[in-house]
């Protein structure tokens, strides 16, 4: 009943891989921002706007036209204008000052402050700590574009759209030429269940602030040239004697410096979240993705992305064929993207395939984005 077995077999193999590792460029002397912090992840290489006292401003905004609410037949859909990115970031990372802060100030999606220490001279290490509503270092992207289930950004249905959570996190980075290593760890407000028989929604079931369930975890990352491998894990209690353990593996290979391969970028990953304990049955959620992007020109790309999102499984490794319903989905999209400086324009079509009870939820989108 489950499609694309080759990709699923690869995802299952990744889940049990031993050298499970994520992104961390070498600690160059002029690298002021800790790798993986939000301005690095969000501004797409744009320098932002310098204000005062070492403070820098970044932003990302878009407008999208969509044709949605149909299955295959565009003429049966509805029209809509939507806004998916409306972020304004303030950061302060000054080379000679160990203290820093990052914040998204429009939606207050995160606000974190901390300090960093780095080795002097020939040392190859750097340590940072941050507290507040921190971006959770889980998966390949710390802010917005988790792709588990084959959908990203505001479309994603597995993890929080912007996973910022109250807590504390730290990172150790090591530049071990030619490999760069990074180890993240965190303690956060976790998830909660209203009753023992409820099925956990990873996107929305955060614990209330007046009755915290603490959670902890981390991410181990390694980069070698254009390739980055991440292993992420997360564990905590859910009330009613129930527990959660979630893990994910993500691999990125970005335009290898080889003939033909220099025009391709590949990312793939898989996530599994297990819930057990109490008097209710144990179950798990599974989601994966595969994204292949081809650049015939540096300013133009063609992209395929696909993935499974399998909920409330009681048997198997990534799917339970006996429990398929409309919440078990396979998403596939094709995109054409054009980039010019700070501006991008993307045409995308997404097919959302429910494995039972097909819904009218395909869409066509044209989205224009400006970031600085």
Per-domain residue ranges of the chain? 5-59+96-327
Burial 31-64 (b: 16+ CB within 10 A, else e): bebbbbbbbbbbbeebebeeeeeeebebbbbbeb
Residue spans of the chain under pLDDT 70:
1-46, 121-122, 142, 144
Helix, strand or coil for residue 12? helix
Which residue stretches of the chain are H helix? 5-15, 38-42
Spatial distance between the Cα atoms of 306 and 104, rounded to a whole number of angstroms: 29
Q: What percent of the chain has pLDDT over 70?
A: 86
pTM score of the predicted model: 0.85
The model's pLDDT over 165-182, given as tens digits with 9 standing for 90+, comes to: 999 999 999 999 899 999
DSSP state at residue 30: T
Identify the pLDDT of residue 39.
38
β-pairing verdict for 283-297 and 300-313: antiparallel
Identify the pLDDT of residue 122.
65
Per the structure block, which two tokens stand in for 96? 């000679």
Identify the pLDDT of residue 27.
32
Identify the pLDDT of residue 118.
85
Q: What is the phi/psi pair of residue 45, to 5°?
A: 90, -5
Identify the pLDDT of residue 142.
64
Q: Residue 263's CB: how many other CB atoms inside 10 A? A: 16
Identify the pLDDT of residue 95.
81
Spatial distance between the Cα atoms of 280 and 314, rounded to a whole number of angstroms: 12
Spatial distance between the Cα atoms of 214 and 198, rounded to a whole number of angstroms: 19
Nearest CA to 110 among 82, 74, 85, 142?
142
Nearest CA to 102 among 146, 55, 35, 159?
55
Cis bond upstream, residue 178 (ω within 30): yes
Query: Does residue 273 contact residue 245 with C-beta atoms inside 8 Å?
Result: yes
E strand or H helix at 7: helix 5-15
Nearest CA to 271 among 360, 138, 122?
138
Identify the pLDDT of residue 197.
87
- The number of angstroms, rounded, from the C-alpha of 122 to the middle of its chain's C-alpha atoms is 33
Query: Does residue 273 contact residue 244 with C-beta atoms inside 8 Å?
Result: yes
Cis bond upstream, residue 106 (ω within 30): no
Q: Sort residue 230 into left (φ over 0), alpha (ψ -120 to 50) or beta.
A: beta
Instruction: Give the Å distances, CA to CA, from 69 to 80, 163, 325, 349, 360.
Output: 10, 27, 19, 12, 5
């Amino acid at each position: 009943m489950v499609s694309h077995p080759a990709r699923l077999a690869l995802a299952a193999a990744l889940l049990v891989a031993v050298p499970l590792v994520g992104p961390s460029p070498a600690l160059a002397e002029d690298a002021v921002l800790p790798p993986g912090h939000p301005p690095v992840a969000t501004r797409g290489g744009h320098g932002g706007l310098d204000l005062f006292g070492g403070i820098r401003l970044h932003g990302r905004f878009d407008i999208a036209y969509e044709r949605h609410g149909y299955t295959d037949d565009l003429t049966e859909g509805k029209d809509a204008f939507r806004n998916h990115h409306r972020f304004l970031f303030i950061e302060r990372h000054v080379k000679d000052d160990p203290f820093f802060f990052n914040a998204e100030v429009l939606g207050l999606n995160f606000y974190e402050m901390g300090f960093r220490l780095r080795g002097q001279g020939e040392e190859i290490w750097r340590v940072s700590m941050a507290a507040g509503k921190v971006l959770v270092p889980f998966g390949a992207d710390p802010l917005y574009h988790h792709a588990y289930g084959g959908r990203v950004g505001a479309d994603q249905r597995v993890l929080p759209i912007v996973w910022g959570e109250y807590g504390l996190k730290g990172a150790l980075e090591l530049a071990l030429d030619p490999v760069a290593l990074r180890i993240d760890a965190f303690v956060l407000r976790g998830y909660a269940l209203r009753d023992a028989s409820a099925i956990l929604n990873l996107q929305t079931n955060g614990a209330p602030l007046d009755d915290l369930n603490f959670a902890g975890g981390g991410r181990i990352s390694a980069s070698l040239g254009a390739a980055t491998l991440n292993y992420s894990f997360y564990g905590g209690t859910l009330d009613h004697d129930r527990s959660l353990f979630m893990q994910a593996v993500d691999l990125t290979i970005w335009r290898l410096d080889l003939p033909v391969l220099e025009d391709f970028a590949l990312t793939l990953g898989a996530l599994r979240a297990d819930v057990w304990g109490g008097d209710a049955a144990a179950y798990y959620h599974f989601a994966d993705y595969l994204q292949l992007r081809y650049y015939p020109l540096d300013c133009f790309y063609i992209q395929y992305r696909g993935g499974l999102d399998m909920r409330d499984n009681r048997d198997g490794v990534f799917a339970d064929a006996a429990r398929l319903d409309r919440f078990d989905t396979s998403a596939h999209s094709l995109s054409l993207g054009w980039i010019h400086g700070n501006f991008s324009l993307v045409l995308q079509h997404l097919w959302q395939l429910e494995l039972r009870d097909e819904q009218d939820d395909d869409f066509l989108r044209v989205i224009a984005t400006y970031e600085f």
